Chain A
Amino acid sequence: GALVYQYPRRTICKSGTSMRMECQAVGFQATSVAWYRQSPQKTFELIALSTVNSAIKYEQNFTQEKFPISHPNLSFSSMTVLNAYLEDRGLYLCGAFWGVKDTQYFGPGTRLLVL
């Protein structure tokens, strides 16, 4: 089956510092990876969509300068939150697309707390 791992599961960083989170697809090759942030109210915000060998597409209000993403192969992606502040708190989810029908499978998320 399709499994997606995310690391770390939870992290705390000081305001103004940066942290990197990783996403790994196991058992399948992820054609594309989407990074989301979920608010405490459960709303999904799409940060960016990353397809191997294509430019990463960032959504409005999210930039490469703030959320740089690396997607070197079909099983791994990482995203860094640079200069994290209180408004960056939330659950960061990685959704990897798999299969002919391109169903999206999610990792368990990285919960970011900013102090």
Chain B
Amino acid sequence: AQKVTQTQTSISVMEKTTVTMDCVYETQDSSYFLFWYKQTASGEIVFLIRQDSYKKENATVGHYSLNFQKPKSSIGLIITATQIEDSAVYFCAMREVTNAYKVIFGKGTHLHVLP
């Protein structure tokens, strides 16, 4: 069965620092896709970055990057030079190739960026 676990319920960091949010997943598939989303206070959900399981290089988009450790079934999100507006709930998600379009979400990590 597929499962996504985010153990950090809430994290607080100072502005302009780097933060890492953890996510581990369970899957029986050899091919899968991993995603990170951000949900703002208004409820809007924004796609941030994705990692395909067959790719060894860690994905990077802007000040978001991933720490993909496949043997550990881990996909951490790293945000560098955090800004106040990065404060939001961050969701890790997974989609298996064989389970077309079914996306499993973690419970989210609430990031507070402090001035």
A residues contacting B by CB (< 8 A) are 31-32, 34, 41-44, 46, 49, 51, 91, 93, 95, 97, 101-106, 108-109, 111
Q: How far is the CA of A109 from the CA of B36 in the complex (A)?
A: 18
Count of chain A to chain B residue pairs whose CB atoms are closer than 8 Å in the complex? 53
CB pair B47–A32 under 8 Å, yes or no, is: no
Are A42 and B107 in contact, CB atoms less than 8 angstroms apart?
yes
Q: Interface residue tally of chain B, by bracket? A: 20 to 34
Contact A104 B103 (CB under 8 A): yes
Whether A103 contacts B50 in the complex (CB less than 8 A), given A93-B45, A109-B43, comes out as yes
Q: List B45-91 residues whose CB lies under 8 Å from chain A.
A: 45-47, 50, 52, 89, 91
Task: Indicate if the CB atoms of A104 and B43 lie closer than 8 Å.
Answer: no
Main DSSP-derived SS at the A contact region: strand
- The residue among B95, B102, B103 with the most chain A CB atoms within 10 A of its own CB is B103
B23 to chain A, nearest CB (A): 14
| Residue pair B43, A44 in contact (C-beta under 8 Å) | no
In the docked arrangement, what's the CA distance between A110 and B28, Å? 34
**Residue pair B45, A34 in contact (C-beta under 8 Å):** no
Q: If the complex has contacts A42-B89, A101-B33, A103-B47, are A49 and B42 also in contact, measured as CB distance less than 8 A? A: no
14 other contacts beyond A102-B33, A102-B101, with CB at 8 A cut-off?
A32-B101, A34-B103, A46-B102, A95-B103, A97-B101, A101-B33, A104-B47, A104-B101, A104-B103, A105-B47, A106-B46, A108-B42, A108-B43, A109-B43
Q: Closest approach, in angstroms, between the C-beta of B28 and any C-beta of chain A? A: 19
